Structure 1
Amino acid sequence: MPENPVVLVTGSSAGIGFETARLLAADGTTVIAHARTEEESTHTFQRLVNTGIDPRRLRPAVADFADLRQVADLAATLTAEHPRLDVLVNNAGTGGTSHRTITRDGHEQTLQVNYLAPYLLTRLIEEPLARSPIGRVVNVSSTLHRGGRINWNDLNWKRRYNRGAAYAQSKLALTMFTTALTELRPKIREAVSVHPGIITTAMLPYYSYRGRPIPDGAEAVAKLARPDAKVLTGGYYEGRLPSKASAASVDPEAVGRLWRLSERLTALDKHRG
């Protein structure tokens, strides 16, 4: 394990992301705590310090994932400030809205925040990840990916928007991304997906009326994100244990198709400059 490991946790301002950042920083890891706005970032930093975290272990990061330009700017900043990045936790996400919402980039909001933005961020910080002997990506997925399908002819749900279906599609895409990172990107040494469990976060209504405490879900994520952890690369975990992802998430043809489509939808080459 490298000296002074660095882990980026997206969506650190609340829920599982906040608790994951706290657990990792408490272990002595330097945590880049991402938040959507400057105000949320300042508040997150203070909350973490108030729990006893050494402020020297924390680095702020700000970007609204509903704006891919901000995601690209964040990646550029991270690359300049952190030549080596050991682990990326793609945790930031949204449960979507009751009515179809389109971002300024022209994508359905749930798809962009939960998948396209993490895709773009990961691709743009490949070099810092490649400089680490770990170079791991942890994608926070969901068991609901099993009921999802990629609506190839209508990714943005122009015809029949359904909040739950849009969420399931986004989590399937993210789980497929884990497969793609394992098979198509040798610069990424390790990639895993994890369903944290049925947890009392804003996502709970998708699963049940009752859930386990947030620390339970965060511990499952933090376990995979700890730089000294041994992981099954390409694997899908439910909580702390390996499980089986859906057939769609490991289908080579579909994974390759989504990878190529994502490059185009995120204008990857343009953002690379």
Structure 2
Amino acid sequence: MLWLFLCVVLGDVLVATFEVIAPNKHLLAVRGRPAVLGCEFTPGPDLSSLVITWQRQEDSRVVHSFYYQQDQLDRQCPKYHNRTSLYVSELHKGNASLRIASVELKDAGWYICVVSNEKGTGRALMEVTYGALYSEPRLSFHVNSSALKMQFETEGFPKPEVIWLGEHNQNISHYMEIHDQTEDGLYLIKSSYEAQKPVVNVTFTLKNHLLNQNLQRTVCLSFDEDTTDHTIIVLAVLSVVCILLFIGIIGLAVHKQNKQRSSM
């Protein structure tokens, strides 16, 4: 009899237990892609009493709300308008996950998932971090009389590790500029290497450790150290020739005009 009583009591306790959990406490979101913030709760027999609220922890901004069996977005933060949704067809299974479309830097931070139904109320906390894959590096050259400067330019997030390697895989010195871009929150990277010899064989490497991105671009070329001087000489000669032709044409026109006047 005592055993039966304990079973009944324990059974009631188990039935009354209500949980809200975030299966993954940390989520890595990638710029421009959707992110799903997981949240699970103990479901009830119907959805009439179900209330789900997603908020930012730091200032309690409302990211998404659901009650009366439909989305309630009157108090939603404007930056999330038309970007959030729940998996409504899975609410009866206890799935309160939130989908955010087209992630941007401002979406990074801590989120709270608050759920209540006839079984109880609970909350779960999770963190969203942000990363952006670096774009295809753009290569440019700058030539002067003594050296060849090559530069790669790309954008991404967070700050990367950049390495330049020589033809024997040795680290070679380089110069790098890092600029913060505007609303996208990307870093604009400009990294350059200056070659003093006419044959160049170098490799540019960029590593975005957060997203396990590894970009390698090899540059192999040779250039004539006297190319710049020769070009200048050719341009100078062409300029002189053009000036002489121009003067000759004007002189011929004046001579022809004078001849016509004298014949009159």
Q: TM-score range by the shorter chain?
A: under 0.3
* More strand as a share of residues: 2
Structure of higher CA gyration radius: 2
More helix by share: 1
Instruction: Normalising by structure 1, report the TM-score.
Output: 0.24
TM-score (norm 2): 0.25
